[in-house]
Chain A
Amino acid sequence: MLGILRQTVVAKLNHALNCEQGIGAVALRAYSSSSANKMTVRDAINSALDEEMSADPKVFMMGEEVGEYQGAYKITKGLLDKYGPERVVDTPITEAGFTGIGVGAAYHGLRPVVEFMTFNFSMQAIDHIINSAAKSNYMSAGQISVPIVFRGPNGAASGVGAQHSQCYAAWFGSCPGLKVLAPYSAEDARGLLKAAIRDPDPVVFLENELLYGESFPVSAETLDSSFCVPIGKAKIEREGKDVTIVAYSKMVGFSLQAADILAKEGINAEVINLRSIRPLDRSAVNASVRKTNRIVTVEEGFPQHGVGAEICATVVEDSFEYLDAPVERIAGADVPTPYAANIERMAFPQVEDIVRAAKRACYRSR
C-alpha cells in the first residue's frame, strides 16, 4: 500500500520535475523536431487536458457544451465519460457568471480550466479575468493566487462575421498578472496547455479554430505525459539571415509559406513563433533582429495598439542601431470583419502581404 503511494508520489514528482527540465530539452530541439507521428491540434489539446486531469484531481473543466456535446469543436471529446460530470461541467450560457465561479473555485485552491466557446464571448466575463483573476495575487500581496486557465478559439474563423472574429491577444497581453499563450502547432498546443494548467497564475490560452484540424509532426518526447513547453520562450520555426518574420498562431503557418516563396527569390527569412504573448520573448526577437537587421511582424488582430506595435517598440528600444530598415507591420484591417468572402479575405493578412512586407524590408521592389 505504502509502495503504491510512494510510486504515485514519485511519478507526480517526476511529472513536475520533467516540466521544469523540459526547458532544457526543448531549447535543444528549438531548431528541429524529428517526427515519427502526426497529431492534429485538436487531439493535442484533448490529450493535454486528459493527462492533466488524470494527474491532478484538482483540475476540472467548465464551459458551454464541454461535456455531453463533447465540445463545441470536439476538443473535450471523451472527457465527460472519463472524468464524470463533477469534473467536466456543462454551464449555462452565462459567461460572467461561470467565469466568476471558476475564479472563485481557483481562489479556494482548485485548478479550473474555463472554456470560452470563442474569446469573443470572453468580453462578457472580462471583469473577472482582469479584476478578479489577474490582479488578485498582487492586491492581496500573495495571499490569493489564481491557478486558472481560460482557453478557447481566438481570432478569425471563416465567414462568421464581425462579432465572432476578433483577436484578443493584444488586450489580454497588456495586462500584468496574466500570462497569455498562443500555440501554433500540435507540439505548442500540448506543451503550452500542460504548462498553463500547471502554472500557479491565471493563463489566457488563445487557440485557433482553423488550426484545430491541422496535423503536425510530433516527436516521441511531445507525446510523453510529462511534456511541457516553457512559458515565455519563443520558438525559431525556421532559421534565416536576411529578415525576421515574427508571428503567432495561424499566422506562423502563413509566415512559413511566405518564407518558402521568399527563398525562391533569394531572401532567406527567419520565422519566429512567439508562442507566448505575455511574457513576450523580447530577447529572442531582438537576438534575431540583431542577426538579420530587418523585421516584419504578423498578426490577425487589429493593428492599432496590437502585438506588432509592442514588438516594433521593443526592437526600436533595444536594437535600434541594428535596424537597416523600418519595422514592417502586417495586421488585420482596421475594420470590423465583413462577411462576404472577398472582402473578408482583404480584412486579414494573406501570404502575399507577408511576402511583400519582407521584400520592402529588404528594399526590394515587388
Chain B
Amino acid sequence: MALTRRSLHLHLIRPIFSARLLTTASTSPISIETSLPFTAHNIDPPSRSVQTSPHELLSFFRDMVLMRRMEIASDSLYKAKLIRGFCHLYDGQEAVAIGMEAAITRKDCIITAYRDHCLYLGRGGTLVEAFAELMGRNGGCSKGKGGSMHFYKKDAGFYGGHGIVGAQIPLGCGLAFAQKYSKDDSVSFMMYGDGAANQGQLFEALNMAALWDLPAILVCENNHYGMGTAEWRAAKSPAYFKRGDYVPGLKVDGMDALAVKQACKFAKEHALKNGPIILEMDTYRYHGHSMSDPGSTYRTRDEISGIRQERDPVERVRKLILAHDLATEKEMKDTEKEVRKEVDEAIAKAKEMPSPDPSELFTNVYVKGLGVEAFGADRKELRAVLP
C-alpha cells in the first residue's frame, strides 16, 4: 500500500487513467476467503475470511507487478554483467512481502537473508536505490558498498539483508528483545527459508524467545528448495511450522497475499501477548537459488510452469479484481505497462550514477574511527585516517 503511495510521488509522468484508478478506488470493506484453510500447530487458526478493500487489492496488484518487474529486470542486468557476484531473485514469492506489509507498521521490524530486494521495496525503499545498489553505484541504498545481499532501511524497520544462512534469526530475536525492552508495542518478523530452518542457531534463539516471551515472529518462506536440495532431502520433518515444538505455528498459502496478510495480523496479535510464533509460508521461487543456478537441474520445468499456471500470486489477485469488478483487464494491462516504464526509468537513472568515490573504501569501517590509520593493499601507497 504505502509502496504505491510513495511511487506516486516519485514519478510525475504517469497516465492519469491509472493514477485515478488507485486514488478513486474505495476503501470500503470486502470480505474474501483465503484459497486454502490455515493449518495450525498448538494454536487455533485465524478465520479464512479476510477483510480487504478495492484500494488494497488494486495496490496489491500494482505492488506485486512492480516487484516482479524489478526482479526480472535484475535478471537481464545480471546477464548483461551490470550486476556482479550474487543475485538472489524473489519472483514468485511476492505475496509474502506484500501481504506482510499490509498487516504491520513501519515500527514493526523485518529482517531477512539475501533474497531481500522485494522486502526492501515493501518497506519503502525506492527502485532507483535498489538498482543503483545492485549495480554498485554511489546512489545505492548502501552506497554501493553492500550489494544485492545487503539492502537496509533502518528508518522503516528493515534490518537487512544478511548473507549467512540462519544468522538473521537470532538477530531478529534480538530486535524483538529490544522492542520488548523499550516497551515499544511492536513486533519483529524474521524471514528464513526451508534451508535455514535446520540451523541450530534458530532453535537456540527460539528457545530464548519463548523463555523471555519476545514478540518474535519466525517466518519460514518455504519455497521447497534449499539451494539445490529439495526439502525432503534436507529435513527429516519438513513441517516447518511444527518444528517449534512448544512454540505455536501456522501453515499459510504463501501465494495468497490475503492469507499472508491474515496470518501476519494474527501473528502480531499473538506475539505481543504470548511470545514467539512460527509462520510457514508455502511459496515458490521461479528463478533458481541465485543467478548462478539455472534452477532446472533439481526440479522439472513442468513443476515450475505448473505453479505459474495454478498458483501465481499476481494472477490470483488479478482474478479477484476482475471477479469483484474493481478494474478492467485493460486497466490492469495499462498498470503493468506503467510499471514496466517506471522500472526502465529507474534503471536508466541508476545507470547514470557513478561508482563510489575511492575514498569510500575507508568510510564507515567504524562509527568513531578515532583518527586511526587504515591501510590499502600497499600500505606505503594507500593509507587513510579513519575519522
Known A106-B174, A107-B175; contact A177-B366, beta-carbon cutoff 8 A: yes
CB-CB under 8 A from B181, the residues of chain A are 60, 86, 105, 110
| Residue of B144, B174, B182 contacting most chain A CB atoms (<10 Å) | B174
A186 CB to closest chain B CB, in angstroms?
A: 23
In the complex, whether B22 has a CB less than 8 A from a CB of chain A is no
CB of A138 within 8 A of CB of B374, answer no
In the complex, whether B16 has a CB less than 8 A from a CB of chain A is no
In the complex, whether A104 has a CB less than 8 A from a CB of chain B is yes
Residue count of chain A within 8 Å CB distance of chain B: 48
CB of A128 within 8 A of CB of B364, answer no
Which residue of chain A has the shortest Cβ distance to B205 in the bound complex?
Answer: A97
Known A92-B208, A100-B170, A199-B368; contact A131-B163, beta-carbon cutoff 8 A: yes
In the complex, whether A82 has a CB less than 8 A from a CB of chain B is no
A168 CB to closest chain B CB, in angstroms?
A: 20
In the complex, whether A303 has a CB less than 8 A from a CB of chain B is no
Which residue of chain B has the shortest Cβ distance to A91 in the bound complex?
Answer: B208
CB of B170 within 8 A of CB of A99, answer yes
Cα-based distance from A99 to B379 in the complex (angstroms) = 34
CB of B142 within 8 A of CB of A177, answer no
A277 CB to closest chain B CB, in angstroms?
A: 12
B158 CB to closest chain A CB, in angstroms?
A: 10
CB of A96 within 8 A of CB of B170, answer yes
In the complex, whether A101 has a CB less than 8 A from a CB of chain B is yes
> Which residues of A64-105 have CB atoms within 8 Å of chain B's CB atoms?
86, 89, 91-92, 94, 96-105
CB of B373 within 8 A of CB of A282, answer yes
Cα-based distance from A109 to B182 in the complex (angstroms) = 10
> Which residues of A105-149 have CB atoms within 8 Å of chain B's CB atoms?
105-110, 127-128, 131-132, 136-145, 147
Which residue of chain A has the shortest Cβ distance to B109 in the bound complex?
Answer: A108
B 204-215 binary contact with A (CB < 8 Å = 1; else 0): 110110011000
> Which residues of B138-157 have CB atoms within 8 Å of chain A's CB atoms?
142-146, 150, 152-154
Which residue of chain A has the shortest Cβ distance to B368 in the bound complex?
Answer: A200
CB of B171 within 8 A of CB of A141, answer no
> Which residues of B168-190 have CB atoms within 8 Å of chain A's CB atoms?
169-179, 181-182
A131 CB to closest chain B CB, in angstroms?
A: 5
In the complex, whether A179 has a CB less than 8 A from a CB of chain B is yes
CB of B160 within 8 A of CB of A144, answer yes
CB of B178 within 8 A of CB of A108, answer yes
In the complex, whether A201 has a CB less than 8 A from a CB of chain B is yes
CB of A101 within 8 A of CB of B368, answer no
Known A143-B154, A200-B368; contact A131-B207, beta-carbon cutoff 8 A: no
In the complex, whether B43 has a CB less than 8 A from a CB of chain A is no
B276 CB to closest chain A CB, in angstroms?
A: 12
Known A101-B170, A103-B171, A231-B370; contact A143-B142, beta-carbon cutoff 8 A: yes
Q: Which 9 A-B pairs have the closest CB atoms?
A: A104-B174, A100-B170, A97-B204, A108-B178, A94-B204, A141-B143, A104-B171, A200-B367, A279-B372
A-B contact pairs, 25 of them (CB 8 A): A89-B212, A92-B208, A97-B205, A97-B207, A98-B208, A100-B169, A100-B201, A104-B176, A107-B174, A108-B174, A109-B178, A128-B170, A132-B162, A132-B171, A136-B160, A137-B366, A140-B142, A141-B146, A144-B152, A144-B159, A145-B367, A176-B365, A199-B368, A200-B367, A201-B367
